Amino acid sequence: MNTEKKALFTIFGGTGDLAKRKLYPSLYRLYKKGYLKKQFAVIGTARREWTDDFYREIVIDSIRDITDSPEHALKFASHFYYQSHNVTDVNHYDTLKKLSNKLDEEYQLNGNRLFYLAMSPNFFGIISQNLKDRDLITTCGFNRLIIEKPFGHDFESALKLNNQIRASFEENQIYRIDHYLGKEMVQNISAVRFGNYIIESMWNSRYIDNIQITLSESLGVEERGGYYDTSGALRDMLQNHILQIISLLAMEPPTRLEDKEIRTEKIKALRAVRLFEPNEVTGHMVRGQYGPSLDDSSENLNGYREEINVAPDSQTETFVAGKILIDNFRWMDVPFYFRTGKRLAKKGTQIDIEFKNVPLNLFDNNDEPLPANILTIYIQPTEGFSLELNTKKIGLGLETETLKLEHKHSAETTANSPEAYEKLILDCLNGDSTNFTHWDEVATSWKFVDVIREHWDNETVNFPNYASGSMGPTASEQLLITDGFKWHWCPNEK
Ligand code: NAD
């Protein structure tokens, strides 16, 4: 039996894309599972003048594909209230406070409040300040603030933003979303490592040659060109998702699987990431921007510079790859390669862990070294694992072949696995911040990224440098070839 959570949700940006596509469906799933029952209410806010009825129709529309029945959807939507609210208008917070207090009493919410900032980060500071100044933060119950990415665009701006928010909320009340941390298989990294002695005992530089992380998107920037052109892949992906995944892969075993313990270990791992000197950036990092698809491709796709709201001479990278080194006992000299980009050959996120070769090949394989064992963690769209092992080929002689032991969750299991946002909202209701990013992690990540950004901003680059539908620029392949490795996942090779 799932325990019912009591809370008032206030969603800033209640008419926006994120609210409609992710937040309302996630709240509905929690409702279906009984985590939300009678004692919850949601206030959606944005500048527009909407009625409660109109807002409820929008909510119902957003959950159309996952509803049990129209009656159930209606009952769920009856908990939703709309309040027209301009976040920069101080007086509007008084109206919001009145409605909040009324709903708190009506639904007996005991002062539990969850404020979800689903809008531009430019407003995070002013909203949190007004929530405090205009007394929307209760003195009984919990008050938690969920913040969307991006958290700043460099260390300085992130620090300024953090100071603004910290003037109203304590660190333990702030939940910075990185939706990758809500993904089933990202959370599974800890289960694989710490639930299997066989794996964890080999999880170090003695047995692992290199680790490869790929977050590949097949779509281009679509209609987000305006935002993306000011951000780029480095800020959009490395600072948060990729460094978070690396910290989970690299951290030491925590003493307990609890937020404080895990966070301590993640921060230690991030602090051990080697910062580049400006002259080391070029040798360790690769940037790319997609051009049109190749002439012989079946699809005729535009290059990034032809996308809507993108400068025709844009220097923004849509691809980034790199080699990260972690200076500690466990990981000395083991490269963590990563690549991420738009318009790549195939959509998918996976981690490939390449183990060291056996010291001597005893088999009849023409003096070729045996292929390395590879453990793959599939994160999306498929979820699962595979392990490549060398075994004897059936027949005379002692030749080997590589077998792949693979488990991929069925499409049905994957479809039923909780949405990242659903898990994260529930975590927040439970006061569990394990899968959110702490300020120390944000700060350390920005310091790493800032060196690269500054170096890149001072050099013009010859873009575009990879074709839509490829796996990025050739320099990304070269990054590994120089070290005697190659990308394990090559969706273009059959
Ligand atoms: P959006 O532009 O669709 O929505 C923004 C919302 O803010 C709208 O409801 C708008 O009316 C409201 N708004 C703007 N100015 C306002 C003001 N002065 N007062 C009150 N309301 C105002 O944006 P989105 O795509 O929903 O993104 C919201 C946040 O979530 C951003 O930080 C974004 O980076 C992050 N995010 C979005 C997605 C996504 O899939 N959409 C994914 C990850 C992160």
- Over residues 98-136, the pLDDT tens digits come to 999 999 999 999 999 999 999 999 999 999 999 999 999
252 with 366, same domain: the answer is yes
53 with 187, same domain: the answer is no
275 with 396, same domain: the answer is yes
The label of the residue with tokens 């301590």 reads 264
351 with 280, same domain: the answer is yes
Collapse the DSSP code of 83 into the 3-class scheme (helix H, G, I; strand E, B; otherwise coil) and give the result.
strand
pLDDT at 139: 94
pLDDT at 242: 97
Ligand 1 binding pocket includes 121 (Cβ within 6 Å): yes
- For residue 227, the ligand 1 atom closest to its alpha carbon is 34
Q: Which amino acid is at 418?
A: P
- Assign residue 87 a region (left: φ > 0; alpha: ψ between -120 and 50; beta: otherwise): alpha
Cα dist. 400→341, 389, 494 in Å? 36, 10, 21
- For residue 86, the ligand 1 atom closest to its alpha carbon is 19
Collapse the DSSP code of 48 into the 3-class scheme (helix H, G, I; strand E, B; otherwise coil) and give the result.
coil
d(CA 394, CA 398): 9
The label of the residue with tokens 């919850």 reads 40
119 with 218, same domain: the answer is no
Name the residue with the closest Cα to ligand 1, atom 11. 46
Collapse the DSSP code of 176 into the 3-class scheme (helix H, G, I; strand E, B; otherwise coil) and give the result.
strand
State how many domains the chain has.
2
CA atoms within 13 Å, Cβ hemisphere of 71: 0
101 with 222, same domain: the answer is no
Q: 195, 409 in Cβ contact below 8 A? A: no
CA of 470 to the centre of ligand 1 (A): 32
Is 85 inside any structural domain? yes
Is 123 inside any structural domain? yes
Q: What is the CATH number of the domain that holds 356?
A: 3.30.360.10
| 18, 87, 235, 424: residue to mutate for ligand 1 pocket, most atoms within 8 A of CB | 18
Is 158 inside any structural domain? no
pLDDT at 111: 97
- Over residues 221-236, the pLDDT tens digits come to 998 899 999 999 999 9
Q: 401, 393 in Cβ contact below 8 A? A: yes
Ligand 1 binding pocket includes 88 (Cβ within 6 Å): yes
Q: How many CB atoms lie within 10 A of CB 342?
A: 26
Which residues sit opposite 83 in a β-bridge?
Answer: 45
pLDDT at 295: 73
Is 426 inside any structural domain? no
d(CA 290, CA 305): 8
123 with 255, same domain: the answer is no
CA of 120 to the centre of ligand 1 (A): 5
Domain end: 148, 171, 195, which one?
Answer: 148
139 with 189, same domain: the answer is no
Say which of 241, 407, 409, 455 is annotated catalytic.
241
Is 425 inside any structural domain? no
CA of 121 to the centre of ligand 1 (A): 9
CA of 47 to the centre of ligand 1 (A): 12
Ligand 1 binding pocket includes 130 (Cβ within 6 Å): no
248 with 392, same domain: the answer is yes
Which residues sit opposite 387 in a β-bridge?
Answer: 375, 405
Domain end: 106, 125, 148, which one?
Answer: 148
pLDDT by position in tens, the chain (length 494): 679 999 999 999 999 999 999 999 999 999 999 999 999 999 999 999 999 999 999 999 999 999 989 999 999 999 999 999 999 999 999 999 999 999 999 999 999 999 999 999 999 999 999 999 999 999 999 999 999 988 999 999 999 999 999 999 999 999 999 988 988 888 899 999 999 999 999 999 999 999 999 999 999 999 889 999 999 999 999 999 999 999 999 999 999 989 999 999 999 999 999 999 999 999 999 999 999 998 777 778 899 999 999 999 999 999 999 999 999 999 999 999 999 999 999 999 999 999 999 988 888 776 788 999 999 999 999 889 999 999 999 998 888 999 999 999 988 888 777 889 999 999 999 999 999 999 999 999 999 999 999 999 999 999 999 999 999 999 999 999 999 999 999 998 76
CA of 118 to the centre of ligand 1 (A): 5
Q: What is the CATH number of the domain that holds 26?
A: 3.40.50.720
Q: Which residues are annotated as a binding site for NADP(+)?
A: 13-20, 47, 149
The label of the residue with tokens 């032991």 reads 405
The pairing of strands 208-216 and 285-288 is: unpaired
Is 433 inside any structural domain? no
Is 124 inside any structural domain? yes
Ligand 1 binding pocket includes 148 (Cβ within 6 Å): yes
pLDDT at 1: 65
Domain end: 127, 148, 169, which one?
Answer: 148
100 with 220, same domain: the answer is no
Is 174 inside any structural domain? no
Ligand 1 binding pocket includes 33 (Cβ within 6 Å): no
Q: How many residues does the chain have?
A: 494
Q: Which of 12, 80, 77 is nearest to 41 (CA)?
A: 80
* Residue 241 annotated among the catalytic residues of the structure: yes
Collapse the DSSP code of 351 into the 3-class scheme (helix H, G, I; strand E, B; otherwise coil) and give the result.
strand
359 with 275, same domain: the answer is yes
- Find the domain containing 45 and state its range: 7-148
Diameter of the chain measured on Cα atoms: 85
273 with 403, same domain: the answer is yes
